[in-house]
A and B are shown apart, each in its own frame.
Chain A
Amino acid sequence: MSEYIFLFDLDSTISKKEILPTISMRIGKLEKMRELTEATMRGEIPFRTSFLNRVKILTPVNVSEVNALVAEIPLNEAISQFIRENRERCYVLTGNLDVWISGLMRKIGMDQHVYCSKAEVREDRITQVISVVDKELMAKQFVQPLVVIGDGDNDSGMAKYADIAIGFGGVRNIAPSLLRNIDYAFYDDIRCAEFLKSLL
């Protein structure tokens, strides 16, 4: 048995869709959200700036409502199952907000295994963002050998600290900056999970 710890990106790696754009669509604010999300994934806007702006778009919605919608987002089944079956060795590393993803994290058994951004909530509304996670810094703090799985530009930082870096392009194309920093790429959920199992 190996000692690898598996570090997963959330959006488009565990989930079958980008989470914030999907929520915006439900409340009719897709266009603005999509522009920001796409530009961020291409690496044109720093993640923190873009994330704070994207949170603003969803601020008028009740937190409990967003949380429930996020929990229903379709998932890459084989990857999620790998996480459920190996929860003690898996962690989720996402820029998304604790108050929005807690339901989803519980669903895949990661509620105690997630590093994410944090916000303050009063009367079911976000009053302010407290911290925005820096994935590269977080990944750097792990002392066990790491397998990192992601798809976006902001996963390149954590890929640098991985012993094995994997790109998952099954939902959207792997960001070019990430593709240059990975050891393996998969475009099929099942094949990706099979390979992860072989690394256990």
Chain B
Amino acid sequence: MDKKKITVIICCAGMGTRLGIGTTKALVNINGKPLILHQLELLDQYDDIRIVLGYQAERVISVVTKYRNDIMFAFNYDYKNTGAAASLSKALPGAREYVVSMDGDLVVHPQNFKEFLDYNGECIAVSDCNSDEPVHIDVENSKVVRFSKNGKYEWPGLVKIQSGRLTPHSGHTYEMLNTVLPIDVLHVQTRDIDTPDDYDRAVAWVEAGYERTGGKNE
């Protein structure tokens, strides 16, 4: 897919952690580097990147702008009272034909992520269930048909969709997407970093070159 058709939105506004280290998840150190820089390295060839900030905004800006300064920052200081959809909505004005939306705490297999970005058209990423409070996904005929409480897969918060099909919303992002299903499904490997145990597993996974070790359910 033409990279010039894509706006990438990374939502980091409410990314506090239960890791007990007082930092936003975007800045959690994964193998010597803040998570947000791991994500940006995978997006080196994209030139419309928007990062939505709230909690610890200044710290994230200072880390990101040292890496590259052509980022658009959007602010959602009301992150405690609004859902992730509010953050995504805030970054939508003037977006290109396709929007890729991802969470600031996504640890993703680089090759899978590339396939997702290159996928020709709209798609929703699914992964094997490994989080505490997952949003599940029901898949029928290789399409995501609904978000649910007990589907077979988990939604890691990663989606690519035509910007014209999104309507600003203040609740959960999956509520915003519910009206535009079905959408093609793409399987990606991801790791969560909600708890200290998650963190150790994610680091081990990245260290091992994203080999299949360290998943909660493996």
Contacts and interface: CB of A to CB of B under 8 A. Distances in A.
Nearest to A187: B69
B73 A198 contact: no
A199 B94 CA distance: 7
A183 interface: yes
Interface string A169-200: 11000001001101111111011000100110
A62 to B, nearest CB: 38
A198 B92 CA distance: 11
7 contacts: A164-B93, A179-B58, A185-B72, A186-B73, A188-B70, A191-B70, A199-B94
B81 interface: no
Given A179-B58, A198-B94, A184 B70 contact: no
A185 B51 CA distance: 10
Given A169-B65, A179-B58, A184-B75, 18 more contacts: A164-B93, A169-B61, A179-B57, A183-B75, A183-B90, A184-B72, A186-B73, A187-B61, A187-B71, A188-B70, A188-B71, A191-B70, A195-B72, A195-B94, A198-B93, A198-B94, A199-B93, A199-B94
A190 B70 contact: yes
Contacts of A182: 75
Q: Mostly helix, strand, loop or mixed at chain B's interface?
A: mixed
Interface string A79-104: 00000000000000000000000000
Given A195-B94, A198-B93, A198-B94, A180 B77 contact: yes
Count chain A CB atoms within 10 A of each CB in B73, B74, B77 and give the residue with the most. B73
Contacts of A185: 61, 72-73, 75
Interface of B: 57-58, 61, 65, 69-75, 77, 90, 93-94
Contacts of B93: 164, 198-199
Give 9 closest A-B pairs by Cβ, nearest first. Answer: A198-B94, A187-B69, A185-B73, A188-B70, A191-B70, A188-B69, A187-B65, A184-B74, A195-B94
Q: Mostly helix, strand, loop or mixed at chain A's interface?
A: mixed
Contacts of A179: 57-58, 75
Contacts of B75: 179, 182-185
Contact of A186 (B72, B77, B94): B72
A195 B93 CA distance: 9
Contacts of A169: 61, 65
A173 to B, nearest CB: 9
A184 B70 CA distance: 13
A183 B54 CA distance: 11
B32 to A, nearest CB: 24
B7 to A, nearest CB: 10
A184 B69 CA distance: 14
A155 to B, nearest CB: 15
Contacts of B57: 179
B70 to A, nearest CB: 4
Nearest to B91: A184
A199 B72 CA distance: 14
Nearest to B73: A185
Interface in A127-184: 164, 169-170, 176, 179-180, 182-184
A187 B69 CA distance: 5
Nearest to B69: A187
A186 B51 CA distance: 11
